[in-house]
């Protein structure tokens, strides 16, 4: 463990690690070249009266039998906290978290996606869709 000190800043303790090989070579070729199917636009307007039904239909037709984890983050006003939500529908797991006001919505979205990935790993889910 090393302590990093810089004039005018608080001391930070950090661990240093030595790896004999480059991190790239610690992973399988398949994991590095994997290209998961990522859909950025389902063609649904969030203001549409039947948006929820349309999304459910798309999920049922394209990913029947898959585990579904919904994620979202929002911030109404600059001085407010970022609200982050993760919902795992099959087990009705709901997690709500507040990030500090200094956080961006992007940070909140990243935190929600990270939580979805952690659920997937913890529960050893094979086929998971994060929306």
Helical ranges in the chain per DSSP H: 29-33, 51-62, 105-122
Helix H or strand E segment including 115? helix 105-122
Q: How far apart are CA 40 and CA 85, in angstroms?
A: 19
Residue 4 above 90 pLDDT?
no
Q: Could you tell me the pTM of the whole model? A: 0.68
* 80 three-state secondary structure: coil
Q: What is the pairing mode between strands 12-14 and 93-99?
A: unpaired
Interval 72-99: pLDDT, tens: 999 988 889 999 999 998 888 999 999 9
Size of the chain, expressed as the number of residues it contains:
131
Interval 61-77: pLDDT, tens: 988 889 999 999 999 88
Helical ranges in 5-104 per DSSP H: 29-33, 51-62
Q: Where are the domains of the chain?
A: 51-130
CATH 3.30.420.10 fits domain 51-130: yes
User: What residue has token string 């998961």?
Assistant: 36
């Amino acid at each position: 463990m090393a302590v990093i000190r810089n004039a005018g800043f608080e001391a930070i303790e950090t661990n240093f690690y030595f790896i004999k090989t480059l991190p790239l070579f610690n992973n399988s070729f398949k994991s590095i070249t994997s290209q998961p199917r990522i859909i950025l636009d389902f063609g649904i307007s969030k203001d549409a009266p039947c948006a929820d039904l349309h999304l459910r239909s798309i999920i049922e037709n394209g990913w029947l039998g898959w585990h579904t984890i919904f994620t979202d983050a929002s911030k109404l006003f600059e001085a407010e906290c970022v609200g982050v939500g993760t919902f795992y529908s099959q087990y009705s797991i709901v997690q709500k978290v507040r990030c500090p006001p200094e956080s961006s919505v992007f940070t909140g979205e990243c935190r929600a996606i990270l939580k979805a990935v952690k659920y997937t790993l913890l529960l050893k889910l094979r086929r998971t869709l994060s929306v």
